[in-house]
Amino acid sequence: MSPGNDPAGAARRGFSLEVVGEIILLAIVGALFVYMFIESFSWPTGSALMPRIAIAIGTPFWIARLIVLIRSTRETSSDMIMDLGFRTGADPRGERMRFARICLYIVGLYAAIWLVGFHIAIPLGVFFYVKVWGRAGWIWSTILGLLFLALIVGVYDRFLNATWHDPPLLRLFWG
């Protein structure tokens, strides 16, 4: 049977461009985890705690994603629980627009963090995301935004005594 007539082969995900890209991304993240873990041993304990916690939480997810990726290249079905791939489907234009919105949201969130700081940008970013894309009401969007503010103040400010960058927009208004 020729490859063009093989229905199982047609549904096989294989090593497409997006799979290769994801493998490269996973390799970079894995290398960053290893580098940060090794590097953290030369830091004071208080400074080394945050990257080690992030690595401890992130590594099981990294391993799980790697397993799912490896299995998806072998299975004959490309259906996934979450639509995380970059493949095109029934509406390629809609998928490109969604990808562009995600990228713009991330870039906007980073710019807002730089301009006004974490304490303002993260709660507003969560509020905006839940309100616009989650289509939640004003009350739930506000509650979730305030919960993230409480997380930043309670955990990072009070518990970890995090130091924050000096946002240029706030510096402009408050010196």
The ranges of the chain with pLDDT < 70 are: 1-17, 75-89, 175
Query: Containing domain of residue 127, as a range?
Result: 91-175
pLDDT at 143: 96
Q: Among 56, 87, 118, which residue terminates a domain?
A: 87
Q: Among 87, 105, 129, which residue terminates a domain?
A: 87
Domain identity same for 98 and 149: yes
Domain identity same for 64 and 114: no
pLDDT at 23: 85
Q: Among 52, 87, 122, which residue terminates a domain?
A: 87
Domain identity same for 1 and 79: yes
Domain identity same for 114 and 149: yes
Question: Could you report the per-residue pLDDT of 109-154, keeping only the tens digit for each?
Answer: 999 999 999 999 999 999 999 999 889 999 999 999 999 999 999 9
What are the contacts of 75-83 at 24+ separation with CB within 8 A? 75/12, 75/13, 76/8, 76/9, 76/11, 76/12, 77/11, 78/11, 78/12, 78/13
Domain identity same for 43 and 15: yes
Domain identity same for 53 and 133: no
Domain identity same for 81 and 117: no
Domain identity same for 115 and 40: no
Count of domains observed in the chain: 2
Predicted TM-score of the model (pTM): 0.54
